[in-house]
Amino acid sequence: MIDKNFSKKILNIIEEKNIKPEPKWKFKIKEFSIWFLLLCSILLGSLSVAFILLEFFNADWDIYTQLTDSFLEYFIAVLPLFWIIFLIFFLFLTYFEFIHTETGYRYNFSKILIINIIISIFLGSAFYLFNFSHYINQLTLNYLDHENRKYLTPREYIWFNNINKGLLAGKLVKVINSHFIKVQDLNKEYWLVNIDNAKIIHPEDIYLNSFIKIIGDIIDENKLRAFEIRPWNQIHFHIFIEEHKSQPLFIR
Amino acid sequence: MQLKELKNKSDEELVEIILKDKNIFPVLIERYQNKLFRYIKRISNLNNEDIEDLLQEIFLKVYKNLNSFSTNLKFSAWIYRIAHNTVISNYRKLNCRPKEIYEKDNVQLWDKLIHDVNIEKNINNDFVKKQIFKVLDKLDCKYKEVLILKYLEEKDYKEISDILKKPISTVGTLLNRARKQFKEIVEKNNIKF
């Protein structure tokens, strides 16, 4: 069957060509890299869950009739499609990376996917509750223009396009006095807002330079009379937000 | 260390020794060369010379990658995996259908398969061998592969999972489908054992 000197022939080749076993550290680095990428994928998948939760829990379900013609239209408008696709991508990437670990191939697709979904929901919820998604959302509102943002925060689009209905969203830049505030809208224009008759929803979540949503009437060019003011995002566990160490702005 | 002592060492112990002294590597080669030769013969249409060339490549890969071997799996599964992957990657368009059945195969090894698919067998072993060849020739490569590992190489589900890098449940499914296809071919072609 095989040449009887086959094993010696192999040894000769090893000696002639000075072949050596690859060092252990190379395999350790490869293994470490796979686990590192796997962890990154899980974290990014979890972050997209945090953004999905942010969009879902801060959508204006109670006033959708003022924003769109029907619930279905509003639901489709605020659906965070970008983050859902992002999550699906990272779920599959995590699966692919896991099966390339030393023993990951032993587990079937559905088991890996289910465990991954559970971890993403658990971690994503933690990221949401500890305001990571809120913080990143604020950064995008401050530093990205509307065109680049619209896929990240779809609910913004409705507010952006409905100023003529008295729907103003923007950054609270100044509390002038107990009657007026100054707001910079999502188009970077400034508005003077009368708050005499405004109902404040979740005032503990509103602070200087935070983003807010205002429902009211346009009374003049760049002037609005507010009926309701609400924060752009609800904030949980205020200890992590620096601004909340100071007094809340609206004490009624 | 004496040769007799070395031959009593487990594969895993031999790996540790070889990493310190490459001159012990032939002991491991001799342990696996015939098994891997038969395995490659069963899954490919290569002649003996080509198989020997491929075996050389396989053992050199084994030597280079000895530090990647971990006791999470059996050494035999690890070396079979390298053999399997080397055959596949070197001969991508390999026809998995051999021109002839491997003569040294003991037909008793196929008895269990014939029993598992509930086919009646007569006692003429040469005839059975030829009939098996007819059926194998018609099987999908992925099913033939698992049947060979299970019934000829006598690997268990976990070892097959480690060799093919597939979940154990998938191995079970492949084997069931392989047996089913085997039986369907037998019945469709009116093959008698």
Q: Which residues of B touch A26 (CB under 8 A)?
A: 67
* CA separation for the pair A152, A78 (Å, rounded): 10
pLDDT surpassing 70 at residue B42: yes
pLDDT score of B1: 62
Stretch A88-102: mean pLDDT: 95
Q: Which residues of B touch A103 (CB under 8 A)?
A: 72-73
pLDDT tens for B84-103 read: 999 988 865 555 555 555 55
Strand extents, DSSP E, chain A: 167-175, 180-185, 190-194, 199-200, 211-220, 223-231
Hey, is the C-beta of A23 within 8 angstroms of any chain B C-beta?
A: yes
In chain A, which residue's Cα lies nearest the Cα of B72? A103
pLDDT score of A251: 46
Contact: A10, B29; criterion CB under 8 Å: yes
pLDDT surpassing 90 at residue A8: yes
pLDDT surpassing 50 at residue A245: no
Q: Which residues contact B16 (CB under 8 A, 6 or more apart)?
A: none
* CA separation for the pair A123, A252 (Å, rounded): 36
What is the interface pTM, i.e. ipTM, of the complex?
Answer: 0.81
Rounded-to-10 torsion of CA A242, A246, A247, A248: -20
pLDDT tens for A110-119 read: 999 999 999 9
Q: Helix B48-64 vs helix B75-90: angle between axes, to the nearest 10 degrees?
A: 120
pLDDT surpassing 80 at residue A225: yes
Hey, is the C-beta of A14 within 8 angstroms of any chain B C-beta?
A: yes
Stretch B138-162: mean pLDDT: 91
In terms of residues, how long is chain A? Answer: 252
Hey, is the C-beta of B2 within 8 angstroms of any chain A C-beta?
A: no
Question: What pTM was computed for the model?
Answer: 0.81
Q: Which residues contact A186 (CB under 8 A, 6 or more apart)?
A: A141, A146, A156, A159, A160, A169, A170
pLDDT surpassing 90 at residue A246: no
pLDDT score of A244: 47
